[in-house]
Structure 1
Amino acid sequence: MANPEIVDSSFTAIINAPIDKIDLPAWAFSLPEHEYQGCSPAHVAAGATTAPDGRRMSINVEIIGGTLMVQHYVETLAEKDHLVLESVSDIFPPAGRTTIHVKWELSVKDLGDGRCEFVNHVQTHATDEFLTYLDRQGIPFEAFAAQRKPMSLAHNAGETPLFAESIERFALRG
């Protein structure tokens, strides 16, 4: 992507379920709202729909660092052990609505003995709209990214083990 990166974060957790029981797309596109909310105090709502081209879409609403985000995650890769979702997400900072690009990548790797390593990888990039938003306010991109990074890292670090637990429960329910 040509626009600058805001944050790139990756965290891991253990899932105590065999790899053949895990289905990341099935989990993501059937995640009940209460289960999503239980994965972070910042999670507000979740649902699933389809994009205009028919691909599955997960809608997630969360508040990170006081900023409401509505994510429209469209599947770009959907394998049982690897899911890539991309969103041009609406964000609602104090000075008005704008967008950022978010790539959310989930994967699992078999560790043997009925355990897997789960990786929660999130990358955010500025959109042209977002760069214009910052310019209108006189905020240097680097200053915004530096301010945003610790909040995003803390959020992803906190949700990763809880996502792993949710995926584990989903896998073991069969």
Structure 2
Amino acid sequence: MSNPEIVDSSFTAIVNAPIEKVDLPAWAFGLPDAEYQGCSPAHVAAGFTTAPDGKRMSINVEIIGGSLMVQHYVEKVGERDHLVLESVSDVFTPSGRTTINVLWELRVRKIDAESCEFTNHVRSTATDALIELLDRQGIPFDVFRSQRQPMSIAHNQGETPLFAASIARAALR
């Protein structure tokens, strides 16, 4: 099994700011900790640093479905209206620590002079470490995926409008 998909979810919300003022990388790599926490009750902390290759990295800590996740999002695409971040995220489960691959893609597209549509797309896939952890516990991947999907999708759905509002606040500052 080579990187099987766990979740692929995408939600949209309105950013009440002109697209010309929106800068997704500036927002993501300058997001204050309290602002990140305000975008979901599951958000614990956020910060930013650089990856070993010098690329920008956003560190996000959240709890999804009872598991603490530390995400190390490295910038893959960094345009004002399109940001793609990739992470090999640490996941702390009751059965031990493992990892999950997460691809986080953010986009905005102009609606009119005063607003744009924000798309928050999250896709996660299994790492070999996750498959090994599940195998040691005798948990079929499909069972894990069916339990993880509703929690991850609900999390993405809940944070999307709050991220859109945060992006608007940053754009209008």
Deviation (angstroms), 1:113 = 2.9
1:56 aligns with 2:53: no
Q: Report what 2:78 is aligned to.
A: 78
User: 1:69-118 CA deviation, whole Å, 9 max, x = no partner?
Assistant: 00000000000000000000000010100000000000000011311000
Partner secondary structure for residue 102 of structure 1: strand
Please give the TM-score of this superposition, normalised by the length of structure 1. Answer: 0.98
**Corresponding residue for residue 106 of structure 2:** 106
SS of residue matched to 1:97? strand
Number of positions where the alignment pairs a residue of Structure 1 with one of Structure 2: 173
Distance (Å, rounded) in 1 between the aligned partners of 2:129 and 2:17? 42
CA RMSD of superposed structures (Å):
0.9
* Corresponding residue number in structure 2 for 1:18: 18
Aligned-partner residue type, residue 68 of structure 2: L
- Whichever residue aligns with residue 10 of structure 2, its letter is S
Instruction: Output one character per residue of 1:107-134: Cα deviation in whole Å (capped at 9) or x when no partner.
Output: 0000113110000000000001111111
Please list, as runs of the form range in 1=range in 2, the aligned pairs for 1:90-169 lying within 5 A after superposition. 90-169=90-169
Deviation digits for residues 121-154 of structure 1 (CA, Å, limit 9, x no counterpart): 0000000111111100000000000001110011
Shift of 1:65: 0.7
Tell me the distance in 1 between the aligned counterparts of 2:20 and 2:113.
Answer: 12
Q: Which amino acid aligns with 1:115?
A: S
**Counterpart Cα distance in 1 of 2:104 and 2:33:** 18
Q: Secondary structure at the match of 2:96?
A: coil
- The aligned amino acid for 1:142 is D
Cα distance, 1:51 vs. partner? Answer: 0.1
Give me the identity figure in percent: 73
Q: Distance in 2 between matches of 1:136 and 1:114?
A: 53
Distance 2:93 2:45 in 1: 18
Q: TM-score, normalised by structure 2?
A: 0.99
Match of 2:39, SS?
coil
Unmatched 5+ stretches in structure 2: none
